[in-house]
Structure 1
Amino acid sequence: MTVEGKIVEKYDTQNIKDTFKKREFVLEYAENPQYPEFIKFELIQSNCEQLDSLEIGDEVSVNFNLKGRKWTDPQGEVKYFNSLQAWRIDKKTGGMSETPPPPTQEWAKEDFSKDDDLPF
């Protein structure tokens, strides 16, 4: 799943266990600009570092997975939790992602035609 919006909060990385860390951030999602939504995402493990190069106010595209867990508390009551686990964040610039697009076929053809010494 993918959503676009503006980063409004960035939290520090939390070391949950020696082998597990997570970091949360909040995205302002304005499908209807009159009523923006504020969506909290989490990053885990090495993905936590993706927020280091981003600032509050940056427009981004977030790729994420919807996660759900079931837990039984000590009193035997079953509880359910949902989380939005982000795995890629791309900063938007002028309506375009900073990730460069793949080369076009014309570019690829032009590049290969430069090698005149090919045997075929």
Structure 2
Amino acid sequence: MAYELTGKVKLIFDAKTFNSGFTKREMVVTVEDGKYPQEILVEFVQDKVTLLDALQPGQEVTVTFDIRGREYNGRYFNNLQGWRVESAGQGENPPPYDEAPPFPTPEDFGDNDIPF
């Protein structure tokens, strides 16, 4: 299940690559929540770390993420794993991977390319 949060980028950390080849990058988004703003840490893994390259602190964003949980030595941990970032007023950054390209129109084909 996907969740979203909207706020301002506070921090963007450098990418970390581990010996196993696993790569992650984290960012903190400040979300206005009544009297006390919340600072939410969101991690991006593997090919999604590049989504943070064009962002700057102070920028308004909407982050789409999944909640991941696990148990380790009797303790339980949760992570917010981001997979899409939309910059306010600029559309998505980069275009989402889960949308199909636009359907071609007849103008997209030359006179000799029509298959019927």
Using the size of structure 1 for normalisation, the TM-score is: 0.72
Note the alpha carbon deviations across 1:22-61, whole angstroms, 9 max, x for none.
Answer: 00100001132x3110000100001001110000001000
Percent of pairs with identical residues: 33
Deviation at 1:2, TM superposition (A): 0.6
Deviation at 1:79, TM superposition (A): 1.1
> Given the alignment, which residue of 20, 28, 36 partners 1:26?
28
Note the alpha carbon deviations across 1:42-92, whole angstroms, 9 max, x for none.
Answer: 0000100111000000100000001101112xxxxx111110000101100
For structure 1, which runs of at least 5 residues remain unmatched after alignment?
A: 73-77, 101-107, 113-120
Per the alignment, residue 104 of structure 1 pairs with none
Task: Give the helix-richer structure, 1 or 2.
Answer: 1
Per the alignment, residue 91 of structure 2 pairs with 98
Using the size of structure 2 for normalisation, the TM-score is: 0.75
Runs of 4+ in 1 over 6 A off after TM superposition: none
The structure having more radius of gyration, on CA atoms, is 1
Number of residues paired by the alignment?
Answer: 99
Q: Residue type matched to 2:45 in 1? A: I
